[in-house]
Amino acid sequence: MKTEKLDLKGICFGEILWDNLPTGRKLGGAPLNVAYHLNKLGIHTEMLTRIGNDQDGDDLVAICEELEVPVRLFQRDATQPTSTVEVSLDEKGDVRYEIVFPVAWDYIASGEKELDAVQHADFFVFGSLSTRNDESYETLKSLLAVANFKIFDVNLRAPFYSKERIFELLNYADFVKMNEEELGFIADWLVLPTTLTDHQKVEQIMHAFEVKEIIVTYGANGAIFHSQIGKFSFQFPAFKVQVKDTIGSGDSFLAAFISQRCCQDKVTNPEEMLEFATTLSAFVTQSSGACPSYEASTINHFHWKYFLDKGLMPSN
């Protein structure tokens, strides 16, 4: 895939942490994962977060610099520690998280530097987990007030969410990504009829919150892109690959989709966009951790090999 605009700039807001896996610790946090992949795909994306004034924080800065994720908007907290999460995998490779509270990214602050950076970014990615504490929540709202294209990655992690906050964030969003389970939660909160199809539920959510575009992911069953701008819904199947773990697969999907969506004023080929997003997600799923090392050529090779091995031709 090619981008039509090469000077895109983005910001991802929220959590950065160490995932303590059975095999050792890995860099993590959904917005950090998205920022990592966007930078790998050639889109300059900064991470706006807060870490502790501790060794874990020093280590995060070092690995982000090594991975070429900009750290200019990393804040340091003298009181709260750098975030860690205990991660376990079930027999299917699905992920279970134990998230510590409170930590440094619960206290992200907003100042002139942060507001200026968000104002001058082409897009702003945010999730729901980072709103679990009032201080980061108020900071996020101040940044959303000046942001351009606002991308909401719904990320419901019990008990760190509420209907009221999710609804408020949906009201800010231009583009929303959610999974099938999260769609069900939001539909229930809106008291939508249980007889509605997922497509009808999405239409109701778009109408209720004036959201222009929504992607719903279905794991092994692919994803559906709904657009009020183009007045269409388009479904794309997931690639069938050997799953190593699912950590960060949704984040890589979102990053790849953003890399295509945000370089276009109007969606002209949703199939290509979803295919590219599905390709990167499949690559990450058969790798270890959310941020495996790769080059753009690696993904292109994986993409073509997958289709050719099945005797098919990709859409691009």
- Write the CATH number for 262: 3.40.1190.20
Domain count, the chain: 1
What tokens were used for 234?
């388009």
* Domain-embedded: residue 2: no
* Domain-embedded: residue 304: no
pTM reported for the whole predicted model = 0.91
Tell me if 45 sits within 8 A of 35, measured CB to CB: yes
What tokens were used for 250?
């949704």
Rounded Cα distance between 277 and 192, Å, is 30
Contacts of 291 by beta carbon, 8 Å cutoff, 6+ apart: 26, 27, 33, 36, 37, 67, 248
Rounded Cα distance between 83 and 105, Å, is 7
Tell me if 133 sits within 8 A of 106, measured CB to CB: yes
Write out the H or E segment, with its range, that includes residue 168: helix 163-172
* Domain-embedded: residue 113: yes
* Domain-embedded: residue 306: no
Parent domain of 38: 9-298
The pLDDT tens digits of the residues spanning 202-259 come to 999 999 999 999 999 998 899 999 998 867 888 888 887 777 777 788 999 999 999 9
What tokens were used for 95?
């992920």
The residue type at 309: D
Tell me if 43 sits within 8 A of 53, measured CB to CB: no
Residue 93 is predicted with a pLDDT of 67
**Residue 95 backbone dihedrals phi, psi, to 5 degrees:** -100, 140
Rounded Cα distance between 108 and 14, Å, is 8
Rounded Cα distance between 68 and 14, Å, is 18
Residue 220 is predicted with a pLDDT of 85
Rounded Cα distance between 127 and 140, Å, is 10
Tell me if 152 sits within 8 A of 176, measured CB to CB: yes
Q: DSSP secondary-structure letter at 292?
A: -
Strands 123-127 and 95-99: unpaired
Residue 257 is predicted with a pLDDT of 96
Write out the H or E segment, with its range, that includes residue 175: strand 175-179
Write out the H or E segment, with its range, that includes residue 99: strand 95-99
Residue 101 is predicted with a pLDDT of 94
Count Cβ neighbours within 10 Å for each residue of 145-161 and write b for 16 or more, e otherwise.
ebbbbbbbbbbbeeebb
Residue 41 is predicted with a pLDDT of 93
Rounded Cα distance between 170 and 177, Å, is 11
- Give the other-Cβ count within 10 Å of 163's Cβ: 12
Q: Which residues of the chain have pLDDT under 50?
A: 1-5
The residue type at 127: G
Judged on CB neighbours under 10 Å (0-12, 13-18, 19+), 20 is middle
* Domain-embedded: residue 184: yes
Residue 303 is predicted with a pLDDT of 73
* Domain-embedded: residue 202: yes
Tell me if 122 sits within 8 A of 148, measured CB to CB: yes
* Domain-embedded: residue 90: yes
Rounded Cα distance between 282 and 66, Å, is 24
The pLDDT tens digits of the residues spanning 81-106 come to 999 988 887 777 677 778 889 999 99
* Domain-embedded: residue 164: yes
**Dihedral sign, Cα of residue 295, residue 39, residue 177, residue 174:** negative
Contacts of 107 by beta carbon, 8 Å cutoff, 6+ apart: 50, 77, 80, 133, 135, 136
Residue 8 is predicted with a pLDDT of 92
